[in-house]
A and B are shown apart, each in its own frame.
Chain A
Amino acid sequence: MSGWREAPGRRRFSRDQRLRILAGIVSFVVLIVVLQLWLFTATMNAYLGGEFGVALPAAVVSLVCLLLNLGLLRYVYRLER
């Protein structure tokens, strides 16, 4: 049985509130992914141009963005409990 069918007393937020929270989370996730897209194109341009110094910091920052996104996704699933 999916989480949203559980007894109403156990949920912290109503469905309407969860919908709005999720909309906010989606906005953040999209923003972070767009940042990663920009970072990837800039890194690719630097790599093709022979500038190798940016590859490591860009990879680290992109990984941090992924972890942030995973944290937000985890929060989405916790919302449904």
Chain B
Amino acid sequence: MSARDPDELTIPPDGRPMAEQPQWRQDFPIDVPQDQYVARREFTKFMVLTSFAFVAGQAWILAKTLLGRRSMTPAQAVTRFDAVPVGGSLQFDFPAPGQPKLLVRLDERTVVAFDQRCTHLSCPVLPQVDQGRFHCPCHQGNFDIATGRPLSGPPRRPLPRVELEIRDGVVWAVGITERTS
């Protein structure tokens, strides 16, 4: 005695009997509901794998956060204050080689320094002091030259600010302040 599961019947997508189906479907019958079920199940598995990937990413950020807190930035002499003319700029690496920063002298008394990497996709920004901005030529992003905040274009976060101190006429970089707004 063989009990046949009614669920195992092949059901074409349009619901009509197999005899009314095109010849190719009769020759190559597909169990459409089961096919849909397996496809959804496999998609669910893929989504769970994606979910795991996000957890791995979060763990990576957490690890970077915990490790990054331990490192202190040593102070570094950048240049003499009067070596940079008003409206002039100077590129320097801080706190390590390969991490370019830009120092700009805004007026007789004010110097500012920011990370040179655009917060959009890390292209180097260029100082345009006469227009009061840092300009990123890659995607036409602009940052305020005095505050580093984004003015226009794709960037949403301000440029990380280099904390400066002037000791005996020498400009020292003493730290970096990253901001979200």
Contact = CB atoms under 8 A, between A and B. Distances in A.
B41 interface: yes
Nearest to B161: A50
Contacts of A18: 37
Interface residues of B, number: 39
A63 B69 contact: no
B2 to A, nearest CB: 11
Nearest to B6: A8
A14 B178 CA distance: 57
Interface string B74-99: 00000000000000000000000000
Contacts, number: 118
Contacts of B181: 49
Contact of B41 (A22, A30, A63, A66): A22
Interface string A24-67: 01100110110011011001111111111001101100110110
Nearest to A8: B5
Nearest to B179: A49
A15 B45 contact: no
Interface size class of A (residues with CB under 8 A): 35 or more
Interface of B: 3, 5-8, 33-34, 36-37, 40-41, 43-45, 47-48, 50-52, 54-55, 57-59, 61-62, 64-65, 68-69, 119, 156-157, 160, 177-181
17 contacts: A7-B3, A7-B5, A8-B7, A15-B34, A16-B7, A19-B40, A23-B40, A33-B51, A37-B54, A40-B54, A40-B58, A43-B58, A44-B61, A47-B65, A48-B178, A55-B62, A59-B58
The 5 A-B pairs at the shortest CB distance, nearest first, are namely: A50-B178, A49-B180, A15-B7, A36-B54, A59-B58
